[in-house]
Amino acid sequence: MAFLKALWDSYQANVTAARHLPAQALQMYADRFDELVADAHGDTAKTALDYGLVDELLSRDAMRERIRALTGEPTTEDRQKDDYTAIDFHDYVEAMRRSHPPPSRRDKIAVIVASGTILDGKQPPGSIGGDSLAELIRHARADKNVKALVLRVDSGGGSAFASDVILRELEVFQQTKRPLVVSMGSVAASGGYWISMSADEIWASPATLTGSIGVGATVPTFQNTLEHLGVHIDGVGTTKLSGATDILRGLGDNVKAYIKESVHNTYDEFIDKVAQHRKRSVEEIDQAARGRVWAGMDALDRGLVDRLGNLDDAIESAAGLAGLESGRYQIEYIEPQVGLAERLVMQLTSAAAPAVRALTGGPRL
| Rg (the chain; Cα; Å) | 26
The CA distance from 285 to 307, in Å, is 18
The CA distance from 294 to 288, in Å, is 9
The CA distance from 19 to 204, in Å, is 24
- DSSP letter at 41 equals T
CB of 130 within 8 A of CB of 118?
A: yes
- Out of 163, 190, 196, 205, the active site residue is 190
CA-wise closest residue to 160 among 51, 33, 41, 269: 269
Q: Does residue 115 have an active-site annotation?
A: no
Beta bridge partners of 105: none
The CA distance from 6 to 204, in Å, is 14
Residue 344, CA distances (Å) to 41, 110, 243, 338, 355 in order: 54, 26, 46, 10, 18
CA-wise closest residue to 63 among 50, 53, 73: 73
The residue type at 332 = E
CA-wise closest residue to 200 among 111, 307, 308: 307
Active site residues: 190
